[in-house]
Structure formats: structure tokens, C-alpha cells
Amino acid sequence: MQPFRPEVSARLAQLAPPLLSQLDEMTSRMISILERTEGAYTEQGPVVRAELFESSRANLERAVRTLMGDSDDGGRAALAAAREVGSRRAIQGVPLETVLRAYRLGGQVTWEALRATARAAEAPGDSDVLLEVAGSVWHVNDVQCAALAEAYRTEERRLAGIDDQARQQVLDGLLGGRGGDPVFVRTASELLALPLDGRLVCAVAPPDESGGPNLADPGARLLKRGVRSVWGWRSGAQVGVVALGTRQVGDVLTWLTEFAGGPVGVSAVVDGASAVASAWRLADTAARTLPAGRARVVTIDDRLPEALLSSSPEITRRLVEQSLGRLLDLPADERDVLLDTLTAVLAADGSPTRAADQLYCHRNTVMHRLRRIEQVTGRSVADPRSRLLWQLALLAADHRR
């Protein structure tokens, strides 16, 4: 900021300090305006909004201290902060025009707060002081916006230069076990602007019936919520590595559910890139337990019994044969009624009364069907092991409600 005349600097040293106690209020007013007028910020998640508050408050404080004459670095710190914000907003996918309007709004809020303080003081000559300060404030704001825009475009060009092949190579490396190589991880993290040293999850989405992706542009959709990720293909399925940061995995599950066109499996949360290969295998297993064509997002923890069954097809087939036996060979109408009854009884912890309520029939009807099930399968509903085998067999036969 250009130096003021001595009398102006002296007056600013009196008018500006009270603004330090108003920084939270000034920041809240600024954020409120942004959330009303800039959709790109309302689409961001709570982590990005919290970071927006902190960075905006820091910028306002720098502006106030500059007015007070506390800054002796020629504005270099403010320019560095503007460049850092520009790079970060490019990574977050916030449009440049939106970022620039936010920065200019910061100058406006600072100016209005200073003017309100001067009006409250009602000192003669303050109008001339404000007039001189206004030109300087807006000049500095323009310089900072130019630095911000330059950094934004530089980062944007860097990100755009990362083609799909480069992303796929990085993803293949992570899924192939190179997450334990510090050099590879550092290079991948810098290339993709993706933090790989924190909490991560892997997602797998088998293709739709035409062989196309069942998740439409997941990287961009998650980025709008402030979540960075890298997506590609592996073993014929879409695969993504998502950096959670401080978010809950439930948030990501909710967002994936919103635009999933088919089954999606998600791993447990892992810590760091070294565990990504394992996370991918778990997510892939979870996805394979779901029927094709059905839009549903599950974690591996939601599907542990099904995952165990899917890991050994031979044993699973034998389990179904030995547990349900000739029941599956009955005529379709009788078979489906008995399977529904068995499912209801198992869900009711073996209680025919509660199963009858679920099936909307008399308890005696359930008892009659149970005797038929026991006769056909050669097993007893009173036997805990038989109930366990039936439950697993029903899961394997995909007779689930």
C-alpha cells in the first residue's frame, strides 16, 4: 500500500484499531453475502466453508493492520496469501470469477467498517481521510486480485495438463501396491494435488449394461463438495481413491448414492497410501456382492457375510446344496412361499408368531410351512447350526429382503 500523508496515517492509527475487535463480525457478514450470492461456495462442504472463514478473516486482519501501519513488508505477505488462495481455490474447483468477487468483497467490507467507525467519531476532516484511503485500498485490492488470478490460472493449467493416462498410471501404481514407496507417493500427491498421507477410502463401481461408467463424473461431483479424488478403471470397473480429510465416510457414501447408476462398493477407511491396494480389494469384493443393475452403495463392513461367501464359489455352492437341498427344486410357487417363510422366521429369531405378523398369515400356517421346510431340507429350526447354515445359504442364493 502506498504511504499516506503523515496526518492521514496518524488518523488511521486511531480509526483502524477498533476494527480488530470486529473481525469475526466482518468475516461473518462477508461469508453470509457470499453464501447468498455465490452458488459455488454453497456447494462446498463444511470443511471448505470453515477454511473459507479462516482465510477470509486472516485477509481482513492483514488489511486492517496495514491501515494501522503495522505492516512493514511492502505488502509481500498479503500478495503471497492471495497467490496461495488462488492456487487452493483452483484445486477446489471454485470458479475464478467467484474467487475474485470474494476477494473484492473483502476490500468492500474493510472499507465499510472503517467508514462506519469514522462516522461514529464525527471528527472534522475524516471525509478527506476516507477519500484518500479509499483509492489506496482499491488499488491494493486490484494488485492482490491480479496475483490471485495469476496463481489460479497457473494451477489450473497444471491440473489440466494431467491427462487421463497420467491419472490412470498413478491409480495403477496405488492399486498395484506402490503406496509404500515414499517417492512415488510424494510425486503422485503433488501431481494430482491429492493428499495421500491421511484418511482414504477406495470405491469400485462395475460398469452398466452397455459397459459404460455407472458413476457419472464422480471426481468433479465430489470436488464440488470440497473432496478430492482420483478415478480411473481397473479390471473392467471404475475405481476411485477418495481423500476424506476430516470428513466422515458417511458423507461420501451419501453423495455417491445420489449419482450412482448401479452397484458401488466402498472400502473401510484406511490410513495412508500404503493401504490403498488392500482397500481396493475390499471395495471390489463389496461391489461384487451386489446384484448387477441395482443402484446401491455399500461398504465392505455392510457386506461381510456376503463377502465371505463370494470369496469361495465352490464352497458357497456346496453350502446352498447342503442347507437348502431339495427346497430349491420344488415348483416355483411352493419354493418361493417356503423361502419367504424361512427368511421371515430367521429374521424373527425363530419365532413363528413374529414371522406370521410379518407374512400377514396365521401362526399355524407358519408352523405348517416350517414342518414342510424341515421335511425337505432334513434340518430342524430348533438347531442353531441349521439356522446359521440356512441364513448363509439364503444370502448366497440372493433371497434377501
Which CATH number goes with the domain that contains 55? 1.10.490.10
Asked if residue 356 lies in contact with residue 366, where contact means CB atoms within 8 angstroms, the answer is yes
Find the mean pLDDT for residues 304-331: 88
- pLDDT in the model for residue 349: 87
Report the range out of 108-117, 153-162, 294-303 with the highest average pLDDT. 294-303
Nearest 5°: the CA angle 341, 342, 348 is 90
Structural domain contains residue 306: no
Question: How do residues 196-218 score in pLDDT, each as one tens digit?
Answer: 988 999 999 999 887 888 898 89
Question: Could you tell me if residue 384 is inside a domain?
Answer: yes
> pLDDT at residue 401 above 50?
no
Q: Which cell is 201 given?
A: 477410502
Q: Are residues 126 and 191 in the same domain?
A: no
CATH code of 238's domain: 3.30.70.120
Q: How confident is the model at residue 174 (pLDDT cuts 50, 70, 90)?
A: very high
My answer on whether 238 and 319 are in the same domain is: no
Together in a domain, 292 and 358? no
The pLDDT value given to residue 166: 81
pLDDT value of position 14? 85
pLDDT for res 46: 65
Confidence of residue 100 (pLDDT cuts 50, 70, 90): very high
Of 98, 132, 160, the domain-final residue: 160
Give the Å distances, CA to CA, from 158 to 147, 166, 167, 356. Answer: 17, 12, 13, 64
> For the chain, how many structural domains are there in total?
3
pLDDT of res. 302: 92
Which percentage of the chain shows pLDDT scores above 90? 45
pLDDT(399) > 50: no
Q: For residue 45, what pLDDT is reported? A: 60
Looking at residue 43, its pLDDT comes to 61
Residue scoring higher pLDDT (158 or 385): 385
Both 15 and 156 in one domain: the answer is yes
Report yes or no on 1 lying in a domain: no
Residues 19 and 152 in one domain: yes
Q: Is the pLDDT of residue 340 over 80?
A: yes
Residue 202 and residue 220 in one domain: yes
pTM: 0.61
Q: Which of 137, 160, 183 is the last residue of a domain?
A: 160
Rg of the chain (C-alpha set): 31
Percent of the chain whose predicted confidence (pLDDT) is above 70:
94
Tell me how far apart the alpha carbons of residues 252 and 254 are, in angstroms, rounded to a whole number: 5
Q: Map the chain to HEC letters.
A: CCCCCHHHHHHHHHHCHHHHHHHHHHHHHHHHHHHHHCHHHHCCCHHHHHHHHHHHHHHHHHHHHHHHCCCCCCCHHHHHHHHHHHHHHHHHCCCHHHHHHHHHHHHHHHHHHHHHHHHHHCCCCHHHHHHHHHHHHHHHHHHHHHHHHHHHHHHHHHHHCCCHHHHHHHHHHHHCCHHHCHHHHHHHHHHHCCCCCCEEEEEEECCCCCCCCCECCHHHHHHHCCCCEEEEEECCEEEEEEECCCCCHHHHHHHHHHHECCEEEECCCEECHHHHHHHHHHHHHHHHCCCCCCCEEEEHHHHHHHHHHHCCHHHHHHHHHHHHHHHHHCCHHHHHHHHHHHHHHHHCCCCHHHHHHHHCCCHHHHHHHHHHHHHHHCCCCCCHHHHHHHHHHHHHCCCCC
Whether residues 83 and 152 share a domain: the answer is yes
* Residues 97, 183 share a domain: no
Q: What is the mean pLDDT of residues 52-58?
A: 89
Q: Is 307 part of a structural domain of the chain?
A: no
Answer yes or no: is pLDDT of 383 > 50.
Answer: yes
Distance CA 202, CA 278 (A): 9
pLDDT given for residue 262 in this prediction: 93
Cα dihedral angle (303, 307, 309, 311), rounded to 10 degrees?
Answer: 170
What average pLDDT score do residues 337-361 get? 92
Q: How far apart are CA 212 and CA 63, in angstroms?
A: 51
**Last residue within a domain, chosen from 160, 187, 205:** 160
Residue 371 domain-assigned?
A: yes
Domain of residue 359, residue span:
313-396
Cross-strand bridge partners of residue 230:
241
One domain for residues 119 and 64: yes
Q: Are 169 and 152 part of one and the same domain?
A: no
Banded model confidence at residue 42, pLDDT cuts 50, 70, 90: low
Tell me: do 18 and 37 sit in the same domain.
Answer: yes
Please compute the mean of the pLDDT values over residues 317-346 and round it to a whole number.
Answer: 91
Q: Is residue 65 part of a domain?
A: yes
Residues 333 and 370 in one domain: yes
pLDDT for residue 158: 78
- Look at residue 129 and tell me if it is in a domain: yes
Residue 401 is assigned to a structural domain of this protein: no
